[in-house]
Chains A and B, each alone.
Chain A
Amino acid sequence: MDGAVVLKMQDICKSFPGVKVLDQVNLELREGEVHALLGENGAGKSTLIKILGGIHNADSGKIFLGEEEVKISSVVDAQNRDIRIIHQEIVLVPFRSIAENIFLGRELRNKAGFLDKKKMYAGTKEIMQEFGLSLSPDMLISELSIGMQQLVEIIKAVSTDARIIVMDEPTSSLSEHEVEFLFRTIRLLKEKKVGIIYISHKISELYEIADRVTVLRDGHTIRTCPIKEVTSEQLINMMVGRELTKYYIKTENPIGDVSLEVKGLSCGRLFEKVDFYARYGEIIGFSGLIGAGRTEVMKTIFGILKRSGGSIYLDGNEVDIRKPKDAIEAGIAYIPEDRKNEGLVLINSVAFNMTLVALKEIIKGIRVNKAKRAGIVNHYVDAFSIKVTSGEQMVGNLSGGNQQKVVLGKWLAGRPKVIILDEPTRGIDVGSKSEIYRIINQLAGEGVSIILVSSELPEVINMCDRIYIMGEGRIRGEIERAEFSQEIIMDYAAGRKTNEANE
């Protein structure tokens, strides 16, 4: 890997009011290279990328594109210099076609100066074919799955002559199959001598795709080296800055009676005849491809989606859950996948969010029990080691890991019997992930039933006692801890294998 250097960021410094986010950070990218950028949330990766993309300006430091020193003054400027950034959140226009999105901002026009829709459709088709994506250019973005949207976004970025492409956690919402597609695309881009900066928390995939890695911690460059020269343990230690002795924390907890049981649960076309049970002290996993219906099952149990059939039992008694309030009263907590939109009131304080579910215990009539409120907040801030200056800090300003811990605290304050966690570690850095695993394990040890919905196979394999695998709206298989392996789970998920009992 000895291509010419296409990008060099030298001694970049950047401060925001009160914090130095980047302190003399260096990054070098060669043509045809996939350069992994690693670091915990808050390490400064996003800020560095935003400087490259013209969203922020560096306080000091130099940026070279090839030989030439440049100042990147705006988003448009970055684009004109053939820098493309694929953001973590999907930035496409939902109710417009794929073609319109791909050509957004650089529409083709005919001689009269009017939009040339035919040409844009043809162009879209061509580029999608080149990358092996078979969708019609006039499909609306809102009709596509999240994974597909992400792929369109990637296609959009690469459809122009890019020299440098930044991918910020591109696989966070992709299914196995879509990841393969992404990697194929990346290899194609490498052949075209495009330099790629690849940000991901999934260290295992870096070994598959990256050439070199740069690790950032607390705004400093820790090390840049070929990825083959370091082990994943070393990378984690570099990121966290301390020895993480055990990443997944799982102890043998005593397993009690059945807590939640679901029989024949259906919800329209989303999923059909789902049966499963959970026991006290047990962690059960829900695995499967994106779109298999896992989140929908959980939302139905929690009363967000309306069930069209089946019944839900708690401690052997049937419960009629029609809305989230019923589920909460029955003792079920649901911690949603999308914590920013569904889990937290971002503009309010940590204390506000944490006591939202347990409000009944704190406010009786017109009497507010402030001591109790502070007690609950302090208890969880300590127990989960949430990094906050005070309980009154705004949740929106916390890192992803700390936000997730606030959500956990919010639900635990209501003392649930069953906790459903939907992708609890998505977009969270390794250090916080490990702590969330510790909390999950601790809760199970206290006798709570945990349902863990996760797309990350190592997570379910290491944390769960039992795993259900879903596919196309049905439960395809159930396996015990002794039989766990990635291959078996994938076989079930892809439909190559099914439980006889279910068919």
Chain B
Amino acid sequence: MKQMNKKMNPVIGWFQMNLGSLLGLMALCVIVTLMSDKFISKDNFLNILKSVSTNMMLACALTMVIILGLIDISVGSTVGLSGIICATLIGSGKYPVWQVIILCLAIGLLVGAVNAVLIAYIKIPAFIATLATQNIGRGLCQVICDGAPVRCSEESFTKLGTTTFFGGVSITVAYSVFFVILICILMYKTRVGTYLYAIGGNELAAEYSGINVRVITAIPYLIGGFFAAFCGVIWTARLGSGSPTLGQNFELDAIAATALGGASMSGGIGRIGGTMIGVLMIGVINNGLNLINLNSFYQLIVKGLVVAISVIIDVMRKKRTMKS
């Protein structure tokens, strides 16, 4: 057994670790630049940041779930549920804004808690459990507003989603940066992160090391529910109205970003940094296709292809390193 003591610069280490996704992101930027001269501009970059800010939060939560080797497909409908409740209550003008927001966040936590109980305590497969909560959540959205969009244009509320500062940076970007930093601290500075990797890598090892597997498993679902509810609130504020279809397929963009960032669906592997790059890749794809006026139906196809291709490249790369 010959082993050398390898010490490397953490920044270089980060670049190395995310080399694949970074190259992918750069390649996408080059392609979009060639296709549209509107891509490289300050306004467009700010626009991309704004459009990815909610996906960034959801993708961070999904990354934690996927590191556990589990999945959560209910976040999109929780965004919708929180959004529609928020719009209905604020639109009615009877309740103070801050109370409504707290209620919405509490509902998000509740959905997360239901998921956590189903998955961590009753041991229902995560896909099925969150499929159930996804359907229930989406159904509730329709019931609450009777299928029709709800207006809520009270300014003290909408400014939570529309304010800009520093010459055009949207406030949603600030929210997203704030929460991503919190998640990074949780993942890399506290025991919770280590435990998530441990459970996802080898649940038995975690259990035998005295880790409370159920409690730790619950955490990402609670965070996912909370972030989804928060996203629902800021989307509603941004749009000035609530729609029962808000948030549809949001979970898919979040999962795609996580996969692009190098996480393994079987658990134990994945990094917030990688996911952030994945989120930007999805954002650049969406933005680029909008710039060249491609029909949104084709956008889905292109997004699917990019995800498939980049994951294939990743798998092949791993195979090669395994052999050597």
Q: Is the CB of B202 within 8 A of A93?
A: yes
- B99-144 at interface with A (beta carbon < 8 Å): none
Q: Is the CB of A93 within 8 A of B3?
A: no
Q: Which of B3, B4, B191, B208 is packed against the most chain A CB atoms within 10 Å?
A: B208
- Asked if A94 is at the interface (CB within 8 A of a chain B CB), the reply is yes
A138 contacts across to B, CB distance below 8 A: 6
Using A95-B269, A114-B190 as known contacts, say yes or no to A75 and B207 having CB atoms under 8 A apart.
Answer: yes
Using A96-B198, A136-B6, A268-B323 as known contacts, say yes or no to A75 and B268 having CB atoms under 8 A apart.
Answer: no
**Nearest residue, chain B, Cβ from A139:** B3
Q: Is the CB of B3 within 8 A of A94?
A: no
Q: Map CB proximity to A onto B177-196 as digits: 1 under 8 Å, 0 otherwise.
A: 00000000100111100100
- Asked if B17 is at the interface (CB within 8 A of a chain A CB), the reply is no
| Of A10-18, A98-106, A273-281, A337-345, the one with at least 4 CB within 8 A of chain B | A98-106
Q: Is the CB of A115 within 8 A of B202?
A: no
- Asked if A107 is at the interface (CB within 8 A of a chain B CB), the reply is yes
| Of A33-41, A84-92, A363-371, A397-405, the one with at least 4 CB within 8 A of chain B | A84-92
Total chain B interface residues with beta-carbon distance under 8 A:
27
Main secondary structure of the interface of A (DSSP, over half): loop
- Asked if B215 is at the interface (CB within 8 A of a chain A CB), the reply is no
Q: Which of A92, A109, A135 is packed against the most chain B CB atoms within 10 Å?
A: A92
A interface residue count range (under 10 / 10 to 19 / 20 to 34 / 35 or more): 20 to 34
Whole-angstrom distance from the CB of A32 to the nearest CB of chain B? 25
Q: Which of B1, B4, B268, B323 is packed against the most chain A CB atoms within 10 Å?
A: B1
Whole-angstrom distance from the CB of A99 to the nearest CB of chain B? 10
Q: Is the CB of A104 within 8 A of B1?
A: no
CA distance in complex: A96, B190 (Å) = 15
Whole-angstrom distance from the CB of A20 to the nearest CB of chain B? 27
Using A104-B198, A104-B205, A107-B194 as known contacts, say yes or no to A94 and B189 having CB atoms under 8 A apart.
Answer: no
- Asked if B16 is at the interface (CB within 8 A of a chain A CB), the reply is no
CA distance in complex: A134, B198 (Å) = 24
A95 contacts across to B, CB distance below 8 A: 197, 201, 268-269
CA distance in complex: A93, B267 (Å) = 11
Whole-angstrom distance from the CB of B69 to the nearest CB of chain A? 12
Q: Map CB proximity to B onto A260-271 as digits: 1 under 8 Å, 0 otherwise.
A: 000000001100
A462 contacts across to B, CB distance below 8 A: none
Whole-angstrom distance from the CB of A446 to the nearest CB of chain B? 39
Question: Can you name 6 A-B pairs with beta carbons within 8 Å?
Answer: A104-B194, A106-B210, A115-B189, A136-B4, A139-B3, A268-B323
In the complex, besides A92-B202, A115-B189, 6 extra interface pairs with C-beta distance below 8 angstroms are A75-B207, A93-B205, A93-B268, A95-B197, A109-B191, A148-B1
